[in-house]
């Protein structure tokens, strides 16, 4: 029997907060959460991707983990970046710890790789969009062109992952319910999010919109991500309430 390593998830909160001062601790927090998710997955015998507890931990760990792509590539804006990423990861982890972990047996319809791919890639893409938003905020303060370019790259990569996540969701829905598309508010909001980032990518093709406008657009995008993830689930009925 694999032990319940909940303390690892708790430990990641102070690690992320210490990461505001030293990058190493941000990395340590990410590792602690990864270890927690692996241990939890081994204990449950499945990938832990059900409910706000699992998905918020995954989002926090992905934010911290993928942020190292920026750390490795850029010189400017690193301190503000580390502070904002650390604060966001700590906040998401705290919210995750408030939610009760889902320990039950999964309904048979959720026992498929398509579900795991759909949820996993969705949260990886949310993390990329979140990093894009953080870079947008820093750009608005520092006006370094390289930051806005990095924001664009993170958002473009997030867009790719999000598109694949939607496709995986469509294949799964087709195999499970006979339709690759269901008309529910959650699906509509997913389309809104996808259209919004398509709009962002088109806006950025216009030279007059480069800089401040696209930076703001990237920040607003993450607000939409959070509403699609948390707001729609809380306020509207959909097929995504497991």
| Residue ranges that bind another protein, judged by CB under 8 A | 105, 107-109, 111-112, 114, 152-153, 156-157, 159-160, 163-164, 167, 170-172, 174-185, 188-189, 191-192, 195-196, 198-199, 202-203, 205-206, 232, 235-237
If we measure between CA atoms, which residue out of 7, 224, 28, 10 comes closest to residue 96?
Answer: 10
If we measure between CA atoms, which residue out of 22, 25, 23 comes closest to residue 11?
Answer: 25
- Which residue lies nearer to another protein by CB, 164 or 226? 164
Q: How far is the CB of 182 from another protein (least distance, A)?
A: 5
Q: How far is the CB of 112 from another protein (least distance, A)?
A: 5
Quick check: helix, strand or coil at residue 160? helix
C-alpha span between 114 and 126 (Å, rounded): 18
CA 46 to chain centre: 20
- Which residue lies nearer to another protein by CB, 42 or 156? 156
C-alpha span between 182 and 188 (Å, rounded): 9
- Which residue lies nearer to another protein by CB, 98 or 235? 235
User: For residues 200 and 221, is the Cβ–Cβ distance under 8 A?
Assistant: yes
CA 126 to chain centre: 3
Q: Where are the beta strands (DSSP E) in the chain?
A: none
- Which residue lies nearer to another protein by CB, 10 or 194? 194
- Which residue lies nearer to another protein by CB, 34 or 232? 232
Q: Which helix or strand (DSSP H or E) is residue 163 part of? A: helix 145-177
- Which residue lies nearer to another protein by CB, 20 or 156? 156
C-alpha span between 168 and 170 (Å, rounded): 5
Q: How far is the CB of 42 from another protein (least distance, A)?
A: 19
Q: How far is the CB of 151 from another protein (least distance, A)?
A: 12
If we measure between CA atoms, which residue out of 35, 39, 36, 33 comes closest to residue 14?
Answer: 33
Q: How far is the CB of 158 from another protein (least distance, A)?
A: 10
Q: How far is the CB of 13 from another protein (least distance, A)?
A: 33
Q: How far is the CB of 62 from another protein (least distance, A)?
A: 18
Helices and strands counted in the chain (H then E): 9, 0
- Which residue lies nearer to another protein by CB, 3 or 45? 45
């Amino acid at each position: 029997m694999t032990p319940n390593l909940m303390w690892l998830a708790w430990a990641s909160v102070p690690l992320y907060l210490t990461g505001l001062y030293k990058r190493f601790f941000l990395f340590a927090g990410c590792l602690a959460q990864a270890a927690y998710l692996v241990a939890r997955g081994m204990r449950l015998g499945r990938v832990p991707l059900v409910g706000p507890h699992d998905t918020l931990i995954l989002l926090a760990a992905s934010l911290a983990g993928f942020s190292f792509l920026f750390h490795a590539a850029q010189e400017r804006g690193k301190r503000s970046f580390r502070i904002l990423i650390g604060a966001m990861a700590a906040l998401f982890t705290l919210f995750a710890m408030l939610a009760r972990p889902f320990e039950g047996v999964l309904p048979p319809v959720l026992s498929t790789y398509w579900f795991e791919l759909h949820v996993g890639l969705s949260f990886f893409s949310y993390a990329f969009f979140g990093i894009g938003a953080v870079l947008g905020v820093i750009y608005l303060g520092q006006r370094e062109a390289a930051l806005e370019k990095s924001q664009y790259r993170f958002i473009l990569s997030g867009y790719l992952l999000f598109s694949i996540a939607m496709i995986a969701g469509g294949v799964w829905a087709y195999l499970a319910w006979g339709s690759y598309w269901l008309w529910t508010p959650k699906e509509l909001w997913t389309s809104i999010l996808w259209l919004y980032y398509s709009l962002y990518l088109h806006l950025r093709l216009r030279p007059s919109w480069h800089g401040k406008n696209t930076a703001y657009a990237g920040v607003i995008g993450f607000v939409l991500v959070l509403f699609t993830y948390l707001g729609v689930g809380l306020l509207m009925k959909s097929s995504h309430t497991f």
